Homo-oligomer: A and B are copies of this chain.
Amino acid sequence: MAHTYEFARPALTVDIVVLALDEEDLQVMLIERDLKPYEGQWALPGGFVRVDETLEEAARRELEEETGLKDIYLEQLYTFGDIKRDPRERVVTVTYYALVNLEGHDVHASTDARNAAWFSVNDLPKLAFDHETILSAAHERLRGKVRYQPIGFELLPEKFTLRQMQHLYEVILDRELDKRNFRKKVLGMEIVKETKEIEKDVAHRAARLYRFDKRRYDKLTKQGFNFEI
C-alpha cells in the first residue's frame, strides 16, 4: 500500500557499528550487501525505520536480522544527513554503536544479507555509502570515552590480565602505552580486582587474572575521571 504525504520526506534508516576485540585488533561487524546500490560490497548492518518502532528497536531488529547479534547494549552515536550520502534518494541515518565480547556472541548470515563477518578496523574492505565515516565516528567516540570513563567491561572476558586490558587501550588509542604507568593508573583507579587465578595454557609466564569491580566501575562511569596516559 502506497503512502502519500503533502511534503517530500527523507527516508530514515539506522546503521549499527558493533565493535569487538580479538588478540590483535579492534573488530567491526560488517555485512555483504545483496541488493543495489553497492551490491556485493561490505557495509554496516542497518535498514529502514518502521513507523511503529522506536529508533533503538529498529537498530536491534536490523542487527539481529542481518547478523544474529542480540541482547546488546546499544548507544546512539550520531545522525548523518548529508544530501548525497545515498545514491538512490535522500536518506538520513541514525547510527548506534555497541561494544561486545567476541566470545559471547554467535554471528550468522541471515536472509536479509548475503554474509556477515568480523573485520579488523585496520584492514577493511571498501565500505558502501558513507559507512567509513560512520565507523570513524564510532572509533573517535570510543577514543574520547577512554579519557573520562572506564572502558572494557563489555569488551574483555570476565577474567583478564592487565596485559589484555592494556592491549585494549592501545588498540582504541592506536598507540603504545608505557606498561608501568598503565598498571599504576588502572590499579590506582581501583576499577579492577585481583583474582586468585592465573592464565592457563600460555607459552609465556602465566599472568595474574583480574576482574572488574562493577560497583566502582559504574561509579566512575557516572562521575567521570581523567585517564591521562
Contacts and interface: CB of A to CB of B under 8 A. Distances in A.
Interface of A: 2-12, 48-56, 76, 78-79, 81-83, 90, 92, 94, 144, 147-148, 224-226, 228
A49 B2 contact: no
Contacts of A83: 52-54
B6 A4 contact: no
Nearest to A225: B226
Contacts of A76: 78-79
Mostly, the A contact residues are loop
A38 B156 CA distance: 49
Nearest to A48: B7
Contacts of A9: 3, 5, 9-12, 51
A8 B81 contact: no
A112 to B, nearest CB: 15
Contact of A55 (B8, B53, B79, B226): B79
B5 A2 contact: yes
A128 to B, nearest CB: 20
A12 B148 contact: no
A56 B81 CA distance: 9
A92 B49 contact: yes
B224 A144 contact: yes
18 contacts: A2-B5, A2-B6, A3-B7, A7-B50, A8-B50, A10-B12, A12-B12, A12-B92, A49-B81, A52-B90, A54-B81, A54-B82, A55-B92, A94-B94, A144-B224, A147-B148, A224-B226, A226-B226
A228 B148 CA distance: 11
